[in-house]
Chain A
Amino acid sequence: MLWIRYVCVQLNRATVLWTNEKGDTTMIKEVNNSVSVDDLKKFKEEVLHKYPKKVAKKRDKAILLNDPETPPQIQANVRTVPGIITQRGCTYAGCKGVVLGPTRDIINITHGPIGCGFYSWLTRRNQTKPETETDENFMMYCFSTDMQDSNIVFGGEEKLKQAIREAYELFHPKAIAIFSTCPVGLIGDDVHRVARHMKEEIGDGINIFGFSCEGYRGVSQSAGHHIANNGLFKNLIGRDDEKRGDLKYRVNLLGEYNIGGDAFELERVFEKCGINLIATFSGNSTIQKFENAHTADLNMVMCHRSINYVAEMMETAFGIPWIKVQPIGADSTAKMLRKIGQYFGDQELIDKIEEVIADEMVAVTAAREKALKKTNGKKAMLFVGGSRAHHYQNLFEELGMTTLSAGYEFGHRDDYEGRVVIPTIQIDADSRNIEEITVTKDETRYNPRKTEEELKALEAEGMEFNGYEGLMPQMAKGTLVIDDLSHYEMEKLIELYKPDVFCAGIKEKFCVQKMGVPLKQLHSYDYGGPYAGFKGAINFYEDIEMIACTTIWKELKAPWESETYVEAQYAY
């Protein structure tokens, strides 16, 4: 009997049909996916019954079907259950690795045994570009006190002091930051006292400060971000009042870490528009830029989770309003630029911005149309970071792709449901042990950039200040929102829905790809990028077209193993 296989493609649904010589057709299996909202409902039952009762109860609150109109309350920023393999990192990683890591002229000393320092040594692919060849750049160094047994027993403060002396003798840096790891908190080394002591001992105008960012302190890296934000504000921001460069259109970009050169692309776009970028926190940054940041007139928050504290503090102390921006995706980059134009309200700037957008969109549109032919209708899932799972949906929308499910590793409720819920967030023990610093108006330098009336007028025109609506309002009704996705849940997601692209990090990459689904790393961009701004969008279109439409998965089975292998001649 001769069986003929053909594939019938209709309405995004591909079905393998087998037809025998009499013309009887049998459906062998459905390939590809057209997942409906009803299908997504199954996920929760499928997953929860595997967990012990208490765990199931806890996870139940972190797995939701979305409603963009009235976002349901999600459980976020609570401890991961032990034994569940999580995507999350630790407080130290958020503080040293994420926020302070990308600044090139601070020497970052990890106070602890060797592992933590080593694993955060250039692994986040933050790029930096010293302006001259002689400019300081310490990012390729990994300083650690490399604590040994005797330091744990007798204390590591002396070793830390010695490490600071050595770092100073070697490099004469302007600033040294000390990061505490787990055992440091336990044995009670006081890194802040050491910092003060060494600042006095060395003199020379050096700035030395410590961070109590022991790994066990918070729920995830998010605690480390908060600690880093406090440190930035206490020790760096506002130390240099000189207004440099152009006095018009002065802005800061907060929560951009220059992975794969994202900051370079955004710097290019700002420069082209004539917008004066004072400081980026902290991609391609220097100490001086932080110290000078309070001379800007607008703060733009990109990664809300990791840096909103600095934005709030600068507003309180110096009167700089902040807006949420998403320069990921060409359309949302254009939106960000238009917001800046609107804020400054200067026709010359507004015209320039429109000119730049029109100019940039030529190449963007061409690239998008090319990619769209293949990517349209495909499905994506994103589980990454504290804002990336939101921002990258813009790019997928531009590619005609639907996000079936998304969630953060270390987001809080406000990152999902919007800042309106902040007053209702319960403060638990894990948040309480992070220092809250009280910021007041700076007596001499507080200068509201816009009057109440001006702000009201801008709000009436549709601008939103000090607000973030969160991820849920952007996602379609019935899509799955999952906080702190566990490894096990991830496998289930793939098994049930086989998305065309899954976005996460390197820890997830090879598991997902073993299941025949391509994974795009949105922490390191799979060593590509940039993905921000206009040129970044083009890069992303090309990369996604390439990975979401690859045919390599067909080769998973050798021809002799495949059910579609026909050992006969084709006859029609």
Chain B
Amino acid sequence: MQKAESIKQKVMPSGDTFASSCNACKQCTPLGACIAFKGLEGVLPMLHGSQGCATYIRRYLISHFREPVDIASSNFSEETTIFGGNKNFNTGIDNIITQYHPRVIAIASTCLSETIGEDVQRLIFEYQKTHNAMPDLPVMIFASTPSYQGTHSEGFHEAVFAAVKTLAESSGPVGDHINLFSNMISPEDIRHLKEIVEDFSIPVVLFPDYSDTLDNTSWDSYRRIPDGGTTVDELKKSAQAYASVELGYILNSGGMNGRIKDNGTKQSAGEFLKGKFDVPLVRTGLPIGILESDKFFEALSSISGKEIPMKYQRQRGRLVDLYIDGHKYVSDKRAVIYGEEDLVVALAAFAAEIGIKPVLCASGGESGKLAGTLREVLGSNYYEDMVVGQGMSFERMEEVMQELKPDLMIGNSKGYYIARKMDIPIVRTGFPIHDRLGAQHAHVLGYEGTMILFEQIVNTLLDDKQRKSPIGYKYM
């Protein structure tokens, strides 16, 4: 085990020092794919594998979003496992069509079907061939997501890529719209992104858009497939966009991690469109904090040739003002930031710009790019004593934290037990959040979202201070 000094002085080597994982800081690949697939209009996702995968993933997503999440399964049995999943696949699709009439069936593989080498593309092809006379035959999309490759984050971006690759077709001149491929963000943040592009008056194909499907109103009669989502037609024309904007620097580029042979075939949706249809690609991070949000707004402004709307300039101004009001509460605080790699980068950039020292940046992901991206994005704000941990588990994090003595944790619910043990406050953001209400409404993107997050951090610190103070200040 490394000593404190050595921990502090270097960026930790790739992965945990343990062979096994104790309290992992990541979920499995198909889970991410299911979230992204829920961003398609009229979709019913199906997992090709054992029914337990669909059940576990459903219960996990439902406890975060507090919405119905229907995911079908091809219910492998021992027999299927030996003789192949062809029959189960076809029955599954038949039943989904008769019960749900979806416009899209989005299929993700699991470790079971990947290990036995199921060729799902072929199964789709054959199903479509034998059913080509069927009216309203749903579109079928397949993402390869064995859970022994990458994390839920890679699964998410793999599904985004798969949908775009399957649907994008060039059938005309360059349009007047852009593509906006977002990241694992909350439904509320998706709505905010839509609002921003709308205020810029830029027509947009935003994918995945689960702002309605995973955060719906109450109904008086049940809708088997909820309204909302990016339509198939929109994705078809993603090839004709005049630019793509991708939020996130790492995306599924770590999808090769754990693979024996990296044959360099991993692409993001934006890279695919650039390679195949020459759609220019602009990549910014998740717009959290002033600097990262500036990049996003400037990108929108420069590709559209339009001014940043006054509304957002005012929001930016108010955010700066808020920073000035609140800086004394956060300055020099030592924070641990954890979650998906792209989220960690964005949160670290935000923390660094408000004077919080990101003493530990940890992720369960192992793209191999976390340390480099952090250094590049944080630039002159980079905190030299920062410990960067990729492929980290919570147990390993706790061990490092005992040395680093942080003041604050920023990340998902799963870190709560460490915060409790060390008696430090935790600000919940990311996935999963199942010990607080409102994960679906967490708003952290843009100047507006940053304001909310900043206030949340300051107030959490103040609350902690008040709670621990023997005096009981009510004026701070």
Contacts and interface: CB of A to CB of B under 8 A. Distances in A.
Contacts of A80: 51, 75
Interface centre among B56, B62, B96, B98 (most CB of A within 10 A): B56
Contact of B53 (A148, A215, A494, A509): A215
A392 to B, nearest CB: 20
B460 interface: no
B77 A216 contact: yes
Given A144-B24, A148-B149, A506-B59, A166 B18 contact: yes
Nearest to B71: A85
B231 interface: no
Interface string A209-234: 00000011100100000000000000
Interface stretch (A107-115, A289-297, A345-353, A451-459): A107-115
Interface stretch (A13-21, A149-157, A365-373, A398-406): A149-157
A185 B52 CA distance: 15
Interface stretch (A86-94, A128-136, A532-540): A86-94
A85 B59 contact: no
Given A88-B55, A556-B218, A82 B75 contact: yes
A367 to B, nearest CB: 28
A101 to B, nearest CB: 14
A89 B51 contact: yes
A116 B56 contact: yes
B111 A113 contact: yes
A465 interface: no
A119 interface: yes
Interface string B38-61: 000000001001111111111110
B51 A86 contact: yes
Nearest to A113: B147
Interface stretch (B86-94, B382-390, B449-457): B86-94
A153 B260 contact: yes
B73 A82 contact: yes
Given A217-B78, A510-B68, A515 B149 contact: no
A276 interface: no
A6 interface: no
A186 B94 contact: no
B24 A117 contact: yes
A93 to B, nearest CB: 6
Contact of B259 (A120, A149, A183, A433): A149
B116 interface: yes
Given A142-B23, A146-B24, A159-B19, A514 B31 contact: no
Nearest to B67: A510
A384 to B, nearest CB: 13
Interface stretch (A26-34, A48-56, A312-320): A48-56
A182 B55 CA distance: 15
Interface string B8-32: 0000000000111111101111110
Contact of B112 (A167, A183, A491, A514): A183
B417 interface: yes
Contact of B19 (A88, A166, A187): A166
Interface string B84-109: 00001101111110110000000000
B56 A89 contact: yes
Contact of A119 (B59, B218, B219): B59
B28 A216 contact: no
B221 interface: yes
Give the size range of A's interface with the partner. 35 or more
A93 B258 contact: no
A216 B80 contact: yes
Interface string A469-496: 0000000000000000001100100110
Contact of B91 (A50, A83, A118, A557): A83
A152 B148 contact: yes
B79 interface: yes
A430 B77 contact: yes
A162 interface: yes
Given A82-B95, A186-B112, A488-B99, A143 B20 contact: yes
Contacts of A556: 218-220
A299 interface: no
Contacts of B71: 85
A121 interface: yes
Interface centre among A118, A142, A515 (most CB of B within 10 A): A118
A114 B62 contact: no
Contact of A516 (B52, B216, B220, B258): B220
B26 to A, nearest CB: 6
A182 B258 contact: no
A186 B78 contact: no
B60 to A, nearest CB: 6
Given A85-B71, A149-B148, A183-B148, A159 B20 contact: yes
A83 B59 contact: no
B147 to A, nearest CB: 4
A90 B20 contact: no
A80 B77 CA distance: 10
Contact of A142 (B24, B98, B146, B151): B24
A499 interface: no
Interface in A168-190: 170, 181-183, 185-187
B24 A114 contact: yes
B267 interface: no
Interface centre among B46, B89, B221 (most CB of A within 10 A): B221
B169 interface: no
Contact of A182 (B24, B69, B110): B110
B115 A152 contact: yes
Nearest to A90: B52
Contacts of B220: 515-516, 556-557
A120 B258 CA distance: 23
B70 interface: yes
Interface string A414-449: 000000000000000110010000000000000000
A147 interface: yes
Contact of B92 (A83, A89, A145): A83
A117 B130 CA distance: 39
Interface string A70-89: 00000000011111111111
Contact of A82 (B66, B68, B74, B146): B74
Contact of A143 (B22, B49, B74): B22
Contacts of B59: 119, 123, 505-507
Nearest to A505: B59
B76 A52 contact: no
A53 B56 CA distance: 29
Nearest to A80: B75
A361 interface: no
Contact of B219 (A88, A113, A141, A515): A515
B31 to A, nearest CB: 7
Nearest to A557: B220
Given A86-B51, A215-B50, A487 B95 contact: no
30 contacts: A51-B98, A55-B95, A80-B51, A80-B75, A81-B91, A82-B75, A83-B93, A83-B95, A85-B70, A85-B73, A86-B51, A87-B55, A115-B31, A118-B27, A120-B56, A141-B22, A143-B20, A144-B20, A146-B21, A151-B148, A159-B19, A166-B19, A181-B111, A429-B78, A430-B77, A488-B99, A491-B224, A510-B66, A514-B218, A556-B220
Interface of B: 18-24, 26-31, 46, 49-60, 62-63, 66-81, 88-89, 91-96, 98-99, 110-112, 115-116, 146-149, 151, 216, 218-222, 224, 257-260, 364, 395, 417
